[in-house]
Structure 1
Amino acid sequence: MVKLNEETRAAYSRYLLELLEAEQTTVFRLKFLDLHPVDQVEVFQQMDQAQKEKFYKLMTPSELADIFEELELEEQKDVVNDWEDQEMGDVFNHMNADDVADFLGELQEDQRQGILTSMDDEDAKDVQELLTYEEETAGAIMTKEIVNLHELETVHSVLDRLRNEAPDAEMIYYLYVVDEEEKLTGVVSLRDLMVAQLDAKIGEVMSRRVVSVHVNEDQEDVAQLIKKYDFLAVPVVSTSEELLGIVTVDDVMDVLEEEATEDLAEFSATRGATDVNITAFQAAKKRSPWIILLMLFGMITAGIIGSFEETLEQVVLLSAFIPMLMGSAGNVGTQSLAIVVRGLALGNFEKKGLMRALVREFGTGLLIGLSCAIVLLLIIPIFFDDSLYLAGIVGVSLLVSLAMAAVVGSIVPLVINKFKLDPAIASGPFITTFNDIVSITIYFSIATTLLQFL
């Protein structure tokens, strides 16, 4: 297989496209198929429409299926529009059922049915089954291409069977054992088969301590399970323990990426707008409601400042520290939010307890606030005419505000999680705005109380 680095990839792609243009089909196929599938996709993405038409005619459905699986969704849709129905069905027949289901789930009903009709009945049936499961569940991301074993089979017969069935299976490192009713009873690894006696029964070499997931289990929980046990795959079973399929580690990597992107979007209040392929209008449409909502919350902050107008009139210098106070409280709150949301996602709080986490975050905010207050007590008198009392007011306000900000940033996602919602919706901008209100209230309350000393 050809390995390309950054310097040679572009030049090699041009060379392959020249072969395609010159209709040197044998040489083109030989060199193109020697590339890694990811590199094949990069070459394909550089083809114009005329070159793609030539390319489709040169490649087999199986080879096109490998490339199609690596494309982004919009690119896949464009490719499907180029294909005839029968050609399209032949390609999808060579893809794993879960990959086909993922793609069809993004299409309109009429187009989806057209593709299913063009596929072989058995392959289409597997895809239709996957489409019936709820999104973001184990059933929706599992694959049906597995090799089932039975306890009474011999190791020799299984190895012979694998030579024929393995090419169509998603993974054969783990092989799952079922009974007459297709219920999961055990698991055996390929390594176990290789070292076992050929005449041994599968029931003698398999392990009955098999970890499985329910078909309706959340995909993120499945990902965490595979991560916890360092599995390459995990079997998916029905309520009656019937083996339905497997979720593999490559599917889990996609899930973790998807969940991380989703959490990032929630944190930054950009849900639905993280795709760089959408237009500016679409991005603004999705992001502006959050900005408008947070702007209205900002009006509350302005109202609080206005209610302390007399305090500000007497000591105008207090206004100079408002941005610093609000920014610091928002930053600490966002840090606590990120820590708690991450802990909830990993299940850390189930082991150590929520109260311990809250106390730790409060203590952390208090110590950060104390450190900042000490710095302000040293700096403010130097730059503002020895105003030690002003330094004290700002320092104490910052100390209390940061401690409260850490608590707010911790409690809000915990409360949201109790309502069975994604705690990441307690986005960074939301926590920052809320802490602005809290910190300003604390600041001017303390300043008004100690005004007589200024």
Structure 2
Amino acid sequence: MHNERIKILNTSLKRLLRRGATKQLLNIIKKTHMADLSIAFKDLSADNREKLFNLIDDLEQIGLLFSMLDENLFIEFVKNVEFNKLVDIFDHMPSDDAASLLTLLDEELSDQILSKMRKEESDNVEQLMSYGEDTAGSLMVTDFIALEEDVGAKQAIETLQNKYLDVEMPFYIYVVDEYGKLVGVSSLRQLVVVHPQKPLKEFMAKDLVTVKPYTDREEVAKLVARYDYLAVPVVDDDNKIVGIVTVDDVIDILHEAATEDMLKMAGVGEEYIEIQTILGGARIRLPWLFASFLGGVAAFFIIGGFEENLAKFTSLAAFIPVIMGMGGNIGTQSSTIVVRGIATGRINLSDFSKVVSKELAVGLILGVIYGLFIGVIARFAFAADLFALPLAFAVGLAILSSMSIAALVGSMVPLIFERLNIDPAVATGPIVTTSIDIVSVYCYFMIASLLLGL
């Protein structure tokens, strides 16, 4: 449904831009969310982008559009935006979005924009830009509601109505003591259900979850996901609140982290394929494919070592693909589950034995089921041969051993890499698939040799 809506929006914009139908275009801009418009913006020609951009007169909406564009498209497009207008746009943009976008621009242009922005806005943005790219400080917004603990509920509501109209996240009131240190938090719901004269300190929540400006942003995302907060306060070393990280930024972090891990596990780098060059894509994939290549060579030598067995029982070769495939699939499943668990904080190193034993049990159960299936198939497929029964047992046990070992390896390897401070998402895929292919083939021929008397 959403893709269909975007397709209709694209078609409408192109047609109206071609006709110069300004009134209809303004009506579409007014009714369309900038998230949808940013997608359509990408598919327009450079001339049509400029025409559409010039029709948007709300600077806050333009700032939202900029923050949702692909990085490369944003960098390319702002080159053609008049400088003073660019300054006005950044002046009306949330400080965290402004800081994030300014870091993408040339340092000279970024400094020029900051020097022309309003003093208060530029100070906030420069403060955020001073923090590391992957820290809570670079994500936080400095507009938040902080009131002293002796303020009554009625007075707090009046302050919100008069002073905090433009705050991005008005759902929490952070409570500070006389020294400005964070001591509690209250939701708007708590504020309106208590007696008007009751001070904040008597009904605020004191069990606070806070982060430092230099806390890794993925740790912040895990906290928000774990506690279902709309925002997390950022405090300095003196426990004074300096900003908040809001849930919309956390969603972006989780999306980026999940995408990055998926691309890493696939061995295709950290960038989307549409922004990779041909040579860049080949260079990134080369080392991981080489790991698979080595595994294939090793499997070749193992199979070659059992050449005499294959010559006597050619039917053994028929089951190699299914044994390697089933082992590879369950190994990939187990490793994906564990890598995701590590990334989201649901699995820790202390869970090693629990996670590994659980995945091993799953592998054993599935190995028994599919071992029986493939054993029955082997028994009836070669029913005319004298060795049909031992072959069925050999294939069935090979599937069982392959899937069990694959589940074991798939769950252990990410945890071991995590313990060694190696990114599990990067190294797990090639190691797991390569080792499982080798082990599966070896176990298969060893079992077949024993049962068939080779």
Q: In the alignment, is residue 419 of structure 1 matched against residue 420 of structure 2?
A: yes
Pair 1:380-2:378 in alignment: yes
Q: For 2:129, give the aligned amino acid.
A: L
Q: Secondary structure at the match of 2:186?
A: strand
Q: In the TM superposition, what whole-angstrom CA distance separates every residue of 1:142-177 from its partner, at most 9, and x where no partner exists?
A: 222212211233444433433344343221111212
Q: How does 1:66-145 map to 2 (within 5 A)?
A: 66-145=64-143
CA distance in 1, matches of 2:349, 2:297: 41
Native 8 Å contact 1:85 1:118 kept in 2: no
Preserved contact between residue 173 and residue 190 of structure 1 (Cα < 8 Å):
yes
Distance in 2 (alpha carbons) for counterparts of 1:427 and 1:152: 54
Moved more, 98-107 or 152-161: 152-161
Which residue does the alignment assign to 1:363?
361
Q: C-alpha separation between the residues in 2 aligned to 1:377 and 1:50?
A: 64
Residue pair 1:237, 1:243 contacting (<8 A) in 2 also: yes
Q: Which residue of 1 aligns with 2:390?
A: 389
Map 1:268-279 to 2 at 5 A: 268-279=266-277
Q: 1:167 to 1:295 in 2, by over 3 A?
A: farther
- Closer, same or farther: CA 196–292 of 1 in aligned 2, 3 Å: same
2:282 corresponding residue in structure 1: 284
Counterparts of 2:401 and 2:250, CA distance in 1 = 43
Q: Which range is displaced more, 422-431 or 246-255?
A: 422-431
- Inter-partner Cα distance in structure 2 for 1:51 and 1:404: 55
Cα distance, 1:17 vs structure 2: 3.7
Change (3 A) 1:49 1:316: same
Two-structure CA RMSD over aligned residues (Å): 2.9
Whole-angstrom distance in 1 between the partners of 2:323 and 2:390: 17
Aligned equivalents of 2:356 and 2:427: distance in 1?
Answer: 16
Q: Give the superposition deviation at 1:209.
A: 2.5
- Say if 2:295 and 2:437, in contact at 8 Å, map to a contact too: no
SS at match of 2:336: helix
Question: Partners of 2:122 and 2:361 in 1: how far apart?
Answer: 58
- Residue 32 (structure 1) aligned to one of 3, 10, 29: 29
Unaligned runs of 5+ in 2: none
TM-score relative to the length of structure 2: 0.88
The residue that corresponds to 2:190 in the other structure is 192
How far did 1:22 drift?
A: 5.6
Give the 3 Å change call, closer, same or farther, for CA 31–406 of structure 1 in structure 2: closer
Q: Which structure 2 residues correspond to residues 213-292 of structure 1 after superposition, within 5 A?
A: 213-292=211-290
Q: Which residue of 2 aligns with 1:13?
A: 13
What are the ranges of 5 or more consecutive residues in structure 1 without an aligned counterpart?
A: none
- Secondary structure in 2 matching 1:214: coil
| CA positional deviation for 1:257 | 0.7
Is the 2:327–2:403 contact (alpha carbons within 8 Å) kept by the matching residues of 1? yes
* SS, match of residue 319 in structure 1: helix
Pair 287,181 (structure 1): closer, same or farther in 2 beyond 3 Å = farther
Where 1:186 maps in the other structure, the secondary structure is strand
Question: Do the aligned partners of residues 377 and 344 (structure 1) sit closer, same or farther apart at CA in structure 2, a change above 3 Å counting?
Answer: same
Determine whether 1:330 maps to 2:328.
yes
Equivalent position amino acid for 2:301 in 1: G
Corresponding residue number in structure 2 for 1:151: 149
Distance 1:144 1:256 in 2: 22
| Distance change in 2, residues 1:371/1:121 (3 Å) | same
Amino acid aligned to 2:59: P
Counterpart in the other structure of 1:406: 407
Residues 13-50 of structure 1: per-residue CA shift (max 9 Å, x gap): 3576478x3665xx865663344333444565547526
Contact residue 6 and residue 36 of structure 2 kept, 8 A: no
CA 1:218–1:28 in 2, change beyond 3 Å: closer, same or farther?
same
Cα displacement string for residues 70-101 of structure 1 (whole angstroms, at most 9, x for unaligned residues)? 32222221231112332212111111111122
Q: Would you say the 8 A contact 1:226–1:232 is kept in 2? A: yes
Change (3 A) 1:9 1:235: same
Counterpart-to-counterpart distance in 1, 2:41 and 2:235:
39
The one-letter amino acid of 2:29's match is F
Q: Would the alpha carbon gap of residues 351 and 278 (structure 1) be closer, same or farther in structure 2, given more than 3 Å must change?
A: closer
1:431 matched residue in structure 2: 432
1:108-143 deviation line (CA, Å, top 9, x unaligned): 433433332332232222222222323333222222
Contact 1:362 1:404 in 2 (8 A): yes
